[in-house]
Structure 1
Amino acid sequence: MSEQIYVGVDLGGTAIKVGICNEQGKLLHTYEGPTEVEKGVDTVIDNIERYVRQIVEESPFNWDQLAGVGAGVAGFTNVQEGIIILAPNVGFRDVPIRAILEERLGKPVKIDNDANVAALGEVWGGAGKGVDHCVCYTLGTGVGGGIIIGGKIYQGFSGLAGELGHMSVVPDLEAIQCGCGKMGCLETVSSATGIIRMAKDAVERGDRTSLATVENIMAKDVFDAAKQGDEAALRIVNRAAFYLGKSLAAVSTVLNPERYIIGGGVSKAGEILFQEVRAVFAKFTPEPLQEKVEIVPAILGNDAGMVGAAGLFLRS
């Protein structure tokens, strides 16, 4: 029997990335094309179909070897029905994407949200390989999350498990309102958006900091300044790490994962972030729940979505 392959689709607002994976989770070929959201839902779906067919045609594999197509999208999904309920970045609302693509491609299709498939990607072929119980955080514009139990995505009863960025961890007196409408969410302090906000607040307060000379502050600027010993930047990084570590401690008391995988742009700060997160985790987590638990950076980067989407057939 010839080797089976799986195609993973990472559906973004600007680009659609597709990748071929083998049954071991190894990414073999990739292709990226424009989403063309401005042309409407039908065009976006046309592009998905076209890119999937194109990547298989350009690979050493044939169409008969394609066992399934998985897709991840930033938004709310009904995994059981294969419907994208709401994905603002791509202009989708109540789109039965699974049924449409299955009819067009003649192949089985599965969908999930982007944070879940990124988590699955890291477990299948990245920093979580060989680990059956882990929790993944994606620290970007917001804070996304994915929970893997027994090597498979944990969805929760309505498919919304893993909204780690909306854990309320900041005390009331320090809390600000999150985009979700609630106060004190992790996302308000440990995302790139939160770090930039805290940096701008420091500058506006008149804190002595090199960030005052930066015209358009980005999270990377804050981390770079912290690494140079800038006290205000260090306070911001430590605050972001404190609440992230505290959230990990809370998750451990409920799920007892073996490994935490932290990805997204903010994770590229490196040890200045991870060292503090590990220290806070140790401080707030009961000792038996700390034993052999690892907190590590993600390694797949932008490929995690493709790998995880392809893995929906074998690992979900």
Structure 2
Amino acid sequence: MPQVPLATPGLLRRVSAGAVLEFMRLSAAVTVTEVMEATGLTRATAIAVCEDLKDRRWIHELENQRAFGDYRKGRPARRFELNERAGIVLGLDVGYSKVTVVVADLRGDTVAKSSRPFEVADLTAAQRINFIDRLAMEALGEASARPEEVLAVCAGVAAPVDRHGDVLAAQKFWGLFDIDLRSSLKELRGWTVLLENDANLAALGDRWLGAAAGVDDVVVILASERLGSGVIDGGRLLHGSRGSAGELAFLDLVQGVGDTYGIAHLARTWAAEAMAGTATTSLNTHARHGAEAEHVFAAAAAGDAVAQDILERLADRMARVIGTVSTMYNPELVVIGGAVANSAGVLLGPIAERLPDFTATPPRIAVSPLGDAMVTVGAVRAALDYVEKNSLDLELAPLS
């Protein structure tokens, strides 16, 4: 039977501080009474936590005056506000060919962003780490921030990651992300680095700021080049014993699917096949450089029969994918995400019509408004969660 941590005064103090910081991240100026109502803390504890966080520079106490329209007698209520620039967090999306770094303040608002493809495809682990580090420093420079202000880093990678932050390198492609990023950036910059699967972070990000906000049972599918999913069940992100709970390799065995290629890849591939044939299609205007997914969606909207056929094939395939995933996890909502989400809304109706053929429990379907930022949004949220949970153990950088 697993050991349950004892509710020591130190642990209760850290939990209380984390709850107060989370509430303040979501709020403007708040009173102690509002802190009590939001966290369930007693007045004495709420005051003690606010005083502690103020002394540590996590929050400010605002000028003691009545808010406009408050004519109650007596001493005005004390008001506190998050010191959103007390530190910063980094959210990273480390793909096979490109890295994106987002610098965010303690409310989760983006301060700066840098994104760039790797200089060459075949890099050693040390070269990849050096590239990621340089890009992170570039983003910090754009944010006019110092490396010592970074309180936590979360990086999403296109491989399963277990609960301990270790990459499952059971396949060659997954092994490309097993580059010891956590200890390397700790050694280089002193940063605490959290590692997570990119689709899992996409699920966290969309549930925070996307179509799945407030939904406790949701599957988010990154659907652009390759299909990958993050699963949230009862409000909890599923990992599995080795981090591969949302892995979709089983689609190789699903009739009418057969692989994990995504919407953008297949739209491009099927368009190329059509343009190489004898069918008349407006997609031929893109023959020189190749038709991308957005070209196919636009041509279909304009009435191109070939493009409309491609969309029908995509809808049928995604209905089978979502139907299978829904049978396994029974989510309330499935969200299609990634860069292709900007165009994929047209598929929602045809997919929904087909879903009852592939599952007895069809979910609602949506596309994420976050586009290709889903992973970094989730990474920022994961880093903020770490900071809030460990706020009393973290040292803020000295004021410059």
TM-score (norm 2): 0.63
Correspondences of 1:127-166 after superposition (within 5 Å) = 127-164=211-248, 166=250
- Aligned partners of 2:312, 2:260: CA distance in 1, in Å? 15
| 8 A contact 2:103–2:112 mirrored in 1 | yes
Say whether 1:207 aligns with 2:290.
Answer: no
Q: For residues 127-164 of structure 1, what are the alpha-carbon distances to aligned partners after superposition, in whole Å with 9 as ceiling and x for unaligned? A: 22222221111221222222122444312222122233
Distance 1:55 1:207, change over 3 A: closer
In structure 1, which of residues 99, 106, 121 is the aligned counterpart of residue 205 of structure 2?
121
Correspondences of 1:151-230 after superposition (within 5 Å) = 151-164=235-248, 166-168=250-252, 171=255, 184-185=257-258, 187-188=260-261, 190-204=262-276, 206-212=278-284, 214-215=286-287, 216-230=290-304
Say whether 1:41 aligns with 2:106.
Answer: no
How much has 1:50 moved relative to structure 2? 4.1
Point out the more displaced range, 44-53 or 300-309. Answer: 44-53
Partner of 2:169, secondary structure, is strand
Distance 1:100 1:84, change over 3 A: farther
Q: Could you say which structure has the higher strand fraction?
A: 1
| 8 A contact 2:282–2:304 mirrored in 1 | yes
- Which consecutive residues of structure 1, in runs of 5 or more, have no partner in the other structure? 176-183
- Aligned partners of 1:9, 1:127: CA distance in 2, in Å? 21
- Aligned partners of 2:109, 2:331: CA distance in 1, in Å? 24
Point out the more displaced range, 103-112 or 194-203. Answer: 194-203
Counterpart code for 1:306: T
Partner of 1:95, secondary structure, is coil
Say whether 1:264 aligns with 2:338.
Answer: yes
- Which consecutive residues of structure 2, in runs of 5 or more, have no partner in the other structure? 1-52, 59-82, 387-400
In structure 1, which of residues 249, 253, 259 is the aligned counterpart of residue 323 of structure 2?
249
RMSD: 3.4
Say whether 1:294 aligns with 2:364.
Answer: yes
How much has 1:240 moved relative to structure 2? 0.9
1:181 maps to what in 2? none
- Aligned partners of 1:54, 1:123: CA distance in 2, in Å? 29
Say whether 1:8 aligns with 2:78.
Answer: no
How much has 1:257 moved relative to structure 2? 1.5
2:19 maps to what in 1? none
Distance 1:51 1:152, change over 3 A: farther
Partner of 1:119, secondary structure, is helix
How much has 1:251 moved relative to structure 2? 2.1
Say whether 1:305 aligns with 2:375.
Answer: yes
In structure 2, which of residues 313, 328, 332 is the aligned counterpart of residue 239 of structure 1?
313
Counterpart code for 1:146: G
Point out the more displaced range, 100-109 or 83-92. Answer: 83-92
Q: For residues 31-78 of structure 1, what are the alpha-carbon distances to aligned partners after superposition, in whole Å with 9 as ceiling and x for unaligned? A: 335644566432432343344455446547666653311111234545
How much has 1:118 moved relative to structure 2? 2.2
| 8 A contact 1:165–1:185 mirrored in 2 | no
Distance 1:281 1:198, change over 3 A: same
How much has 1:310 moved relative to structure 2? 2.5
- Aligned partners of 1:158, 1:121: CA distance in 2, in Å? 22
| 8 A contact 1:226–1:237 mirrored in 2 | yes
2:110 maps to what in 1? 27
Point out which structure has higher relative CO (alpha carbons under 8 A, 6+ apart): 1
- Aligned partners of 1:224, 1:244: CA distance in 2, in Å? 19
- Aligned partners of 2:168, 2:135: CA distance in 1, in Å? 19
2:183 maps to what in 1? 99
How much has 1:101 moved relative to structure 2? 1.8
How much has 1:196 moved relative to structure 2? 2.9
How many residues were matched structurally? 300
- Aligned partners of 1:52, 1:307: CA distance in 2, in Å? 16
Q: For residues 191-246 of structure 1, what are the alpha-carbon distances to aligned partners after superposition, in whole Å with 9 as ceiling and x for unaligned? A: 32222333344445533433355412322232222212222321221111112123
- Aligned partners of 2:187, 2:344: CA distance in 1, in Å? 45
Q: Of the two, which has the highest radius of gyration?
A: 2
1:179 maps to what in 2? none
- Aligned partners of 1:50, 1:278: CA distance in 2, in Å? 45
- Aligned partners of 2:268, 2:137: CA distance in 1, in Å? 41
| 8 A contact 2:90–2:150 mirrored in 1 | yes
Q: Percent identity over the alignment?
A: 30
- Aligned partners of 1:24, 1:129: CA distance in 2, in Å? 17
